[in-house]
Structure 1
Amino acid sequence: MAPRRASKRKRVHDGGLITVEKQKGEETPVAGWNDTTTSKSSVTNGKENSPLVVFAHGAGAPSTSEWMVRWKNMLSKALNAIDVVTFDYPYISGGKRKAPPKAEKLVEFHLDVIRNEVAKYPDHPLILVGKSMGSRVSCMVAGKDIGACAVVCLGYPLKGINGTVRDETLLQLRVPVMFVQGSKDGLCPLDKLEAVREKMSCANEIHVIDGGDHSFKVAKKHLQLTESTQEGIEDLAGHAIATFVSNLKNM
């Protein structure tokens, strides 16, 4: 079944134009959401059926960076998560920063982190989230036998160093995916991503931050012109992610 054309809607938040596009491919059952068994401790804490989020950092900054900490807190609140787990890939841990290896070489370590956390929260749906490189690795591990419900990509690095479009991993995805992208992200031109989304077989959605760069930073002049705030724009993105995750329950 070929993916259907995307439907598009636009809305204004704090004066900033935000575009949300949805596109559904083949209907793929979402693992681990409707068939979970809720533990007593989860009910007591008001977290029944709340997702476990495993959040991977990008190539240039560890999990303790200001950006990662801010988004971890936002995701925890927006998704009412049982936990939002961040971690450092080996190349960046221990205080010594090295050049990141190829994404494929990080898959096994990422899987070990996920399996360890799933063992702690076996009754909760698993959502994979990644920043830039971390989103690419998250898409790679989503196809493994870990029961992932969906992937959320924060600034997916579609273009490689030589400018080639790296779409192989996305075309192999079978779980729903959401892209959050800045309209001025040079690593992921929106027209290139749209062409890839047309070919993807899984359900997919995109939330575009108007004027945002690879880390969603919007220039002050643009914020002034649109009467927006950086916090308001990021909060709206968090709300869009929450809606995407909530809708998984109906798939």
Structure 2
Amino acid sequence: MAGFAEVKVKIPFGNKYLNAIFSVPDKILTHGVILTHGAGGDMNFSHLVSLVDYLASRGLLCLRFTCKGLNIAYRTKAYKTVVEYLKSSGEYKLSGVFLGGRSMGSRAAVSVTRQISQDDNEDFIRGLIFLSYPLHRPKLQSKLRDEDLFFIKCPVLFVSGSEDEMCEKKILEGVASKMKTPTKIHWIEKANHGMAIKGRTPDDIMMEISTQVFLWIKEIIEQEYK
């Protein structure tokens, strides 16, 4: 495992700034990862920090950012600004990037990917990582937040709790089967939307999640160079 340094940045967004942190490995691989938080919290939410620490220590440049708005269109606009900021960065030359987030942050990631692919025929985005994707509101399985998912062309990884009250297992499996892109679901057994499991520590759960995310990213990168 390599070391990494953290660099705080402020990304211009309209007439304000988005707070963000680069986790820069001693030796950067060819790809990066952008992550953001859910409806609550910020970029220092423990799940994001754990995942970033794991990925950056294995050579992936990571950029996580805070956007407090609860409007999905606003969050998507902010996410697009961050993607463009990283892509135009003169300091970090990347072949591609993986977008992800937790809960509402993952909805913003899929929404911005749909927008960018329509606007630019974009191939910079290599894959999407969804932690606790909020497919529906609790007990409101009839109204699915699945529309954007069917327009995605890059590989997708869902990491969800098998007892997530906002993502019923059978419903997500049904949606994934209809998507037009390689899709993988990793179920965290007995976890709820917050990835909590009775009898398991948060560190243990995040190690399982981080390992799965890294192996999935590594597999996609290796396929590019075959």
The aligned amino acid for 2:135 is L
What's the CA shift string for 1:209-232, capped at 9, x where partnerless? 111111211112xx4xxxxx4423
Cross-structure match for 1:114: 83
1:134-173 equivalent positions in 2, closer than 5 A: 134-143=105-114, 144=116, 145=120, 146=122, 147-160=124-137, 162-163=140-141, 164-173=143-152
**Distance across 1 between alignment mates of 2:79 and 2:154:** 17
The aligned amino acid for 1:198 is S
**Distance across 2 between alignment mates of 1:246 and 1:240:** 10
Q: Percent identity?
A: 24
Which shifted more, 163-172 or 199-208? 163-172
**Residues 1:48 and 1:166: Cα distance change in structure 2 (over 3 Å):** closer
Cross-structure match for 1:209: 188
Cross-structure match for 1:84: 62
1:54 counterpart SS class: strand
The aligned amino acid for 2:203 is E
**Distance across 2 between alignment mates of 1:198 and 1:150:** 17
**Distance across 1 between alignment mates of 2:202 and 2:81:** 35
Cross-structure match for 2:219: 247
**Distance across 1 between alignment mates of 2:29 and 2:129:** 21
Cross-structure match for 1:59: 39
From the two aligned structures, give the one with the greater strand fraction.
Answer: 2
Higher RCO (CA-CA < 8 Å; seq separation 6+) = 1
**Distance across 2 between alignment mates of 1:246 and 1:53:** 12
**Distance across 1 between alignment mates of 2:154 and 2:29:** 22
RMSD over aligned Cα atoms: 2.1
Cross-structure match for 1:129: 100
Gaps in structure 1 of 5+ consecutive residues: 1-41, 92-99, 224-228
The aligned amino acid for 2:96 is P
Deviation at 1:141, TM superposition (A): 1.2
**Residues 1:45 and 1:124: Cα distance change in structure 2 (over 3 Å):** farther
**Distance across 1 between alignment mates of 2:29 and 2:63:** 18
- Residue 181 (1) aligns with residue 152 (2): no
**Distance across 2 between alignment mates of 1:73 and 1:64:** 12
**Residues 1:56 and 1:236: Cα distance change in structure 2 (over 3 Å):** same
